[in-house]
A and B are shown apart, each in its own frame.
Chain A
Amino acid sequence: MTRTNPVRVVIVDDHRLFRSGVRAELGDSVEVVGEADDVASAVAVVSRTAPDVVLLDVHLPGGGGVEVLRQLLPALPDVRFLAVSVSDAADDVIGTVRAGARGYVTKTISGAELAAAVNRVADGDAVFSPRLAGFVLDAFAATDVPSIDPELDALTAREREVLRLIARGYAYKEIAKELFISVKTVETHVSSVLRKLQLSNRHELTRWATDRRLV
Chain B
Amino acid sequence: MPPTRPPLSPAGLTPTLTRATQGQLVAGVARGLATHLRVNVLVVRLAFVALTFAAGAGFAMYAAFWVFVPPQSSESAARGRRLDGRGQYVAIAALTVGGVLVVQSLGLGLPGELLWPLALTGFGAAVLWRQADEAQRASWRNAATGRGGRSASITTLGGAALVVAGAAVFLIYQGQLDQVRNGLLASVVIIAGVAVITGPWWLGTLRELSAERRARIREQERAELAAHLHDSVLHTLALIQRHVDDPREVQRLVRGQERELRSWLYRPAADHTQDFGGALEQAVADVEDAHRVTIETVVVGERKLDEGLLAMVQAAREAMINAAKHAGGAAISVYAELDAAKATVFIRDRGRGFDAAAVPSDRLGVKESIIGRMERHGGKAIVRSSPGFGTEIQLEMATAMARS
Interface, chain A (partner B; CB < 8 A)? 87-89, 130-131, 133-134, 137-138, 141, 164, 167-170, 174, 213, 215
Contacts and interface: CB of A to CB of B under 8 A. Distances in A.
B223 interface: no
B270 interface: yes
Contacts of A131: 296, 298
A130 B301 CA distance: 15
Contacts of B266: 87-89, 213
B389 interface: yes
Chain A binding surface, main DSSP class: helix
B301 A138 contact: yes
A87 B265 CA distance: 9
A137 B300 contact: yes
B335 A169 contact: yes
Contact of A169 (B262, B270, B331, B337): B331
B335 A215 contact: no
A139 to B, nearest CB: 10
Contact of B298 (A87, A134, A141, A170): A134
Interface in B283-332: 296, 298-301, 331-332
A138 B300 contact: yes
B403 to A, nearest CB: 21
Contacts of A133: 298
Nearest to B294: A108
A194 to B, nearest CB: 18
B165 to A, nearest CB: 47
Nearest to B270: A215
A134 B346 CA distance: 13
B301 A169 contact: no
Contact of A134 (B270, B300, B348, B392): B300
Contact of A141 (B262, B301, B346, B389): B301
Given A88-B266, A134-B335, A215-B267, A169 B296 contact: yes
A97 to B, nearest CB: 16
Given A88-B262, A88-B266, A168 B299 contact: no
A167 B333 CA distance: 8
Contacts of B299: 134
A141 B339 contact: yes
Contacts of B267: 215
21 contacts: A87-B266, A89-B266, A130-B296, A130-B333, A131-B296, A134-B299, A137-B300, A138-B301, A141-B301, A141-B339, A164-B337, A167-B298, A167-B333, A168-B335, A168-B346, A169-B332, A169-B333, A169-B335, A169-B350, A170-B348, A174-B389
B156 to A, nearest CB: 33
B348 A168 contact: yes
B287 to A, nearest CB: 16
B353 to A, nearest CB: 13
B9 to A, nearest CB: 43
